[in-house]
Structure 1
Amino acid sequence: MANERLRSALAAAGLTPQAVGEQVGVDTKTIERWISTGRTPHRANRTRLCTLLGRDEEYLWPDAVSDAQVRSASHAEFVDIHPNRGSIAAATWHSLLVNAQESIDLLAYAASFFHDTISDFNELLLDKARAGVWVRLLFGDPKGGAVQLRGEEEGIGDSLSGRCSLSWKYLAPCIGIPGVEARVHDTTLYTSIFRFDDDLFANTHVYGAPANHSPVMHLHRVAGGRLFPHFLDAFARVWDSAVQADSTTLLA
């Protein structure tokens, strides 16, 4: 059976089997067999291909990755656990923003701490967007049912809705700027997700407690690991269900 994932990855990267063979160190016919017959390359070649194509080994050859390898890779993804969001220094968030080269993805209800602790937060986002970084902002609908319910569960009533409104007011200068995409969501949020290239912070939500009082897991993307893509897939699902932010409506 042909390996269509590998074929698609080569096409997406704009690479021919000949070009891949030259960079990996095997002949063109071998590359073509890997595609047309689904033959699994030796591990060293799989690693080179993953690096070249920017894909995970588990995605390209799911049958070749053992449970032990997956567990090992997932352990390697884990960087640190913070007891609460407040224990992460403002300088850390600032550094992550400044050093991002490809993607900034922020999912929360309000995440007003960014503007509270980083005075030039908007300017940093806009600078990154102008430099070609893909910035995606995904925050709660102040009038949505999920935000209202979360506020009730935390015992703060409409305060969470107010924080969402405040965040959108802060972000107004960023909405509509090329390179910045902003969407409003009304989903039950189990985890706030803050992704900066290959680093991701997953802030768990615990019933009855505000997000800033709950643990934050720091992950770094590792080929073959399942934790980083697991949370990134969650971001994608919320993103797909959200609607484009309209500053006129949000600030009304």
Structure 2
Amino acid sequence: MNHPLARALRGAGINAVDVASRLGVDPKTVQRWMTGRQPYPRHRDALVKMTGWSPHDLWPEMSRPTDPATQADEVRIVYPHRSAVPADAWVRLLSRADHEIAILAYSALFLAENVAVTDLLREKARQGVRVRIALGDPAGRHVASRGDEERIGAGMSARIRTALVGFGPLAAESGVALGLHDTVLYNSICRSDDELLVSSHIYGRPGAHAPVLHLKGNRADGMVATYLASFERVWSVVKPAIGL
């Protein structure tokens, strides 16, 4: 038997009968483990302790979980709420874009009312950066639901219409696309190439009170990729913001 578990047990001077006695299983079960059958998690843990080998050394065929360290590499800063993000952080983020800017929100009114942001978006579009902005449909049912959650009712639709006044002129730029979506929005996203500021949506709490992650990464299986895929999913169902 050349399975890693068999080698580990031999190296530790432990035979199948010893293992069976310690774990309260049939020796034939241990024999099956030693030829490749994978034990239950509680038995795997016990075998790791007996042999001193790691789980993946004993069972190389096990799928490896995502390394938390590589995920943590994508997290630059965590803000406890959006109002804790420095006012110029949004401009600094967007100013670094060379290829792609994307904004996904219900209203993003705090960005639409920031003249430095709208001027920068216009300039980036003229430099050839693709700019896409997806806001909630003021007449959408999910916008109405979010307004009820935050106890502002039609105020959510009003905020979006106000944001459209700020973002609307950008739609005249050839590199800017402004659309409306009616989706359940779990996160708001502000993208600058492979950097994101992501605001979580919390039931019953306004956006300014939600935590914000500053992420940067280009791994195909990373956090940034997950959020970008979510944006694309929403973007696929937006309708043009015309006449609003």
Q: Same fold (TM over 0.5)?
A: yes
Q: Hey, what's the Cα distance between the residues in 2 that align with 1:95 and 1:103?
A: 15
- Corresponding residue to 2:186 among 187, 190, 212: 190
| 2:233 aligned partner, one-letter code | R
Q: Deviations over 1:151-210 (max 9, x none)?
A: 001111111110000011111211132010111001111110111112111100111001
1:113 is aligned to: 110
Which of 139, 164, 168 is 2:164 aligned to?
Answer: 168
Deviations 1:21-41 (A, max 9, x none): xxxxxxxxxxxxxxxxxxxxx
State whether structure 2 residue 99 is matched by structure 1 residue 102: yes
SS at 1:194 equivalent: strand
Q: Residue 81 of structure 1 aligns to a residue in which SS?
A: strand
Determine helix, strand or coil for the equivalent of 1:241: coil
Contact 1:81-1:217 at 8 Å conserved across structures: yes
Distance 2:67 2:219 in 1: 9
- The runs of at least 4 consecutive aligned structure 1 residues that moved more than 4 Å come to none
Q: Which residue in 1 is equivalent to 2:71? A: 74
Q: Assess if the C-alpha contact under 8 Å between 1:104 and 1:196 holds in 2.
A: yes
CA shift at 1:69, angstroms?
6.0
2:120 is aligned with 1:124: yes
Q: How does 1:32-71 map to 2 (within 5 A)?
A: 67=64, 70-71=67-68
Shift of 1:224: 5.1
Instruction: Give distance in 1, aligned partners of 2:175 and 2:122.
Output: 8
The one-letter amino acid of 1:181's match is A
Cα distance in 1 for residues equivalent to 2:182 and 2:210: 21
Residues 137-176 of structure 1: matches in 2 within 5 Å? Answer: 137-176=133-172
Cα distance between partner residues in 2 of 1:224 and 1:73: 12
Q: Aligned partners of 2:200 and 2:87: how far apart in 1?
A: 19
Q: Name the CA distance, whole Å, in 1 between partners of 2:229 and 2:211.
A: 20
Is the 8 Å Cα contact of residues 112 and 164 (structure 2) preserved in structure 1? no
Calculate percent identity across the aligned residue pairs: 37
- C-alpha contact (below 8 Å) 1:78/1:218 kept by paired residues: yes
Structure 2: runs of 5+ lacking an equivalent: 1-62
CA distance in 2: counterparts of 1:237 and 1:157, whole angstroms: 27
The TM-score normalised by the length of structure 2 is 0.71
User: What is the distance in 1 between the residues matched to 2:229 and 2:158?
Assistant: 28
Which residue does 2:202 correspond to in 1? 206
Report the equivalent of 1:62. none
Structure 1 unaligned runs (5+)? Answer: 1-65
Compute the RMSD of aligned alpha carbons. Answer: 1.5
**TM-score under structure 1 normalisation?**
0.69
Determine the C-alpha separation between the residues in 1 that align with 2:139 and 2:188.
19
CA distance in 1, matches of 2:178, 2:152: 26
